[in-house]
Amino acid sequence: MKPVLPLFVFIDACGWEIIKNDPFGKNFAPNRKKLDSVFGYSSTCVPSILSGRWPVEHRNWCYFVYDPKNSPFKSLRPFRWLPTAITSRRIFRRWLTKFVKVHLKFRGYFDLYNIPFKFITLFDFTEKKSPLKPGGMNRGPNIFDFLGERKINYHVSAPEKPEIENLEAVIKDIESESIDFAFLYWAGLDGLLHMVGNQSPEIPAKLRLYEQWIDRMMAAAQKHYSEVRLYVFSDHGMANCDELLDLKAKIEALDIKMEQDYAVVYDSTMARFWFFNDRARKVVTEALQKVPQGRIIPDLELKEMRTLFEDRYFGELIFLVKEGVLIVPSHMGERPIRGMHGYHPKDKHTYASLLTNQTEIPEEIVAIPDVFKLMTRDAELAKERNAADQAPATYA
């Protein structure tokens, strides 16, 4: 048996409100803690966990940004002539997304979502590399750079594969005793919560399935490693969407034109604007101030959340809706969904969770970027103890 295996299990959207009154993990990870998340979607939460840094530092925030000079989507402009009844269909977008990802050689998560082909050449996509690979951040290193530099053998999930395949893959590596660190990524709960909301009986059923999988993984690990340091954690939670807001219609009713006067990305819970003249800025600002379902986030607050980008690359004005409100239609989708995240970090359902079999969680572990501290600490520990165990004996 090898001495130590740090095992980090990332369950997307398994927020504090999801598990705080549920027995999830109490047998294998009884010590639990609520963590602050970061402002943004998984596109920024995941990189923050993997790098230990905040959005202004790693520059992985929202996916689409106004950048016509560097837009990779010029070949898609002819699709603007197709009927919206076709181009807005999810099955069409999924097929085209797969083709475009291969054509553009994007290595990270990619989806065309619902960006209109009429305007798609105005935008760039910010995650061209995978944060789950070495060198995968927009700026700076991640945990896999750290592990590679220190020659620590590790396992990491392939998020494009089914969850059960990733489970079998990590168990195989555990049984071979070929790794000194494991990072498992399950995204199924996130997708389920989007569809059914956080009160559906399908959610505890999914948690019970995860418990069975983790029990299997722990049983395998305990046969091959004397100590298994288990951490189960999330990036955010999920709020039920009980109010719909057609923000797009309100902005398009104004006496200004998209592309001529301004550009905007309508995310599911926020709208990000770039302005090309003072009048457009004034008109949009006044209109947004009359929308009771949300508010413009001031620069001071963005700075406090470490999402104030001085070059305004991700938007000059950020309008955020209240928890439980869904912007629809948006550039993320034409139709309503039951659950969503990406609200203010202090909103109830945004908080993340951390569960462990360790007796103590250090006091400085308070937000999801701090998980990186646990990963680097335990990876170094495993390297030292496992290497010492394999060293040949010496005799005086």
Dist CA 6 CA 378 (whole Å): 6
The confidence score (pLDDT) of residue 83 equals 81
Spatial neighbors of 173 by CB under 8 A, at least 6 apart, are 155, 179, 182
The confidence score (pLDDT) of residue 336 equals 95
Q: Are 153 and 181 in contact (CB under 8 A)?
A: yes
CB atoms within 10 A of CB 374: 21
Angle (CA) 386 390 393, round 5°: 135
Question: Average pLDDT in the 374-388 region?
Answer: 96
- Three-state DSSP class for residue 383: helix
The confidence score (pLDDT) of residue 393 equals 39
CA separation (Å) from 332 to 57, 58, 158, 286? 25, 23, 24, 25
Q: Are 269 and 318 in contact (CB under 8 A)?
A: no
Question: Average pLDDT in the 49-76 region?
Answer: 96
Dist CA 318 CA 269 (whole Å): 10
Q: What is the mean pLDDT of the chain?
A: 95
Helical packing angle, 202-224 and 188-196, nearest 10°: 170
The confidence score (pLDDT) of residue 271 equals 98
pLDDT category at 342 given cuts 50, 70, 90 is very high
Question: Average pLDDT in the 367-389 region?
Answer: 96
Q: In what order do the strands lie in the sheet with 352-356?
A: 31-35, 352-356, 225-233, 2-11, 182-186, 155-156
Q: Looking at 90-99, 117-126, 364-373, which range is the least confident one? A: 90-99
CA dihedral 349, 53, 72, 93 (to 10 degrees): -20
The domain made up of 242-336 has a fold known as: Gyrase A; domain 2 (3.30.1360)
Question: Average pLDDT in the 21-40 region?
Answer: 97
The confidence score (pLDDT) of residue 150 equals 97
pLDDT at 343 over 60: yes
Look at residues 186, 137, 178, 135 and name the one whose alpha carbon lies nearest to residue 162: 186
Dist CA 203 CA 338 (whole Å): 13
pLDDT category at 265 given cuts 50, 70, 90 is very high
pLDDT at 391 over 60: no
pLDDT category at 122 given cuts 50, 70, 90 is very high
Instruction: Write down the domain spans for the chain.
Output: 2-56+130-239+347-390, 64-125, 242-336
Cis peptide preceding 392, ω within 30 of 0: no
The confidence score (pLDDT) of residue 394 equals 37
Q: What is the CATH number of domain 2-56+130-239+347-390?
A: 3.40.720.10
Look at residues 146, 110, 128, 145 and name the one whose alpha carbon lies nearest to residue 70: 128
pLDDT at 395 over 50: no
Share of the chain above pLDDT 90, in %: 86
